[in-house]
Amino acid sequence: MKKTAFLLLSICATALIYVSCSNDDIVNGTDTTAVRASVVIDAANEMDINTGLLVTSSSPTAKSATDVPGVCATITVSGESYPKIFTVDYGTTGCTDSQLIRKGKLKITLSGPIITTGSKLTIERIDYSINGIKLEGTIEYTNTTTVPTVPQWSRKVTNGKFTDLQGRVYTNSGMHTVKQTAGVDTPYVLTDNVYEMTEGTHTVTTDKGATLTLTVQETLVKKQSCDYISKGKLKVEGGFLKGVIDYGNNDCDSNFTYTHESGVGYNLSM
C-alpha cells in the first residue's frame, strides 16, 4: 500500500501539477490499484481459458469423472455428444495449481471441438476464487478461424466481477481477438502453443465509479506454458492515469511496467 501511495503522489507531482490529488483519488480507484487489478483480471481470464482448454482437450470423450495433468480439481463430464458440460470442482477448501490456490467451481460448456470454426467454449465461475480473490462472470471463447493455418478466436468477458483481498470490487467486460502462432500442428498438445492477442479492449470500473479502459497497443504474447502474458503493451486511459502497460521481453514472469504519459515509469508485479 505504501508503494501505491508513493506512486500516486509521484504521478500527481509530475503529471498533474494543476490537479488536486487527494485520498478520494485512492478510494475511487484511480491510482495504480486499478491498473494492477486490471492486469490481474486479464491474467485470471487467461488462466481460466487455459484450464478450459486443458480440460476439454484432455477429455475428448465423455466420462463420468477424469483427472487432467496440471489441474488439481475433480472433473466431471456430462453429455455423450456436443454440447458437453465439464464441471471443474476445486472444493470449498481449495487445491493448488502452479502455486495458486483455487476454490469453487468452473462450469465449462463446449459446443463442439474447439479447433473447429464456430465452436464455443463458455466458462462460468461459481463461488470461485484464486488466492482469496473472488472472481465472477462468464468468458466466451469462440473459434472464428477463416485461414486454417492461422487459428483464431474471439474472447468475450461479460458480467465480470473481481473482489480483492481488501474487499474492493471491480466490474469488468471486454472483447479481444486471439490468434495461435505456434503449436498449430499438434492440436491436442497444448504445451507448445503460443497465442497472440492482436486487438481488443476491456473496461474495468470500481465500486466508486472510476473507470479504466485498456486497449491493445502492441500485440500481447501468451505462452501456454506461462501463467502470465510475457510480451506486448496496453494503452491505459482513465481518470488521471494515461499511459502504457509493458509486459516486457517475453520472459515468463509476473512483472510489468507502467509508464505515465509524462515519461515516468514504475516497475510493478501481479
Q: Give pLDDT, residue 58.
A: 67
Helix%, strand%, coil% for the chain, nearest 5: 15, 50, 30
97: region left, alpha or beta (phi > 0 left; psi from -120 to 50 alpha):
beta
Q: Using the 8-state DSSP alphabet, how is residue 233 labeled? A: E
Residue with cell 491505459: 236
Question: Going by C-beta distance under 8 Å and a sequence separation of 6 or more, which residues neighbour residue 41?
Answer: 160, 162, 170, 172, 202, 204
pLDDT by residue (tens digit) across 223-244?
A: 888 878 999 999 999 877 899 9
Q: Tell me which of 128-137, 143-152, 240-249 is least confident.
A: 240-249
In this prediction, residue 65 has a pLDDT band, given cuts at 50, 70 and 90, of low
pLDDT by residue (tens digit) across 245-258?
A: 999 999 988 888 98
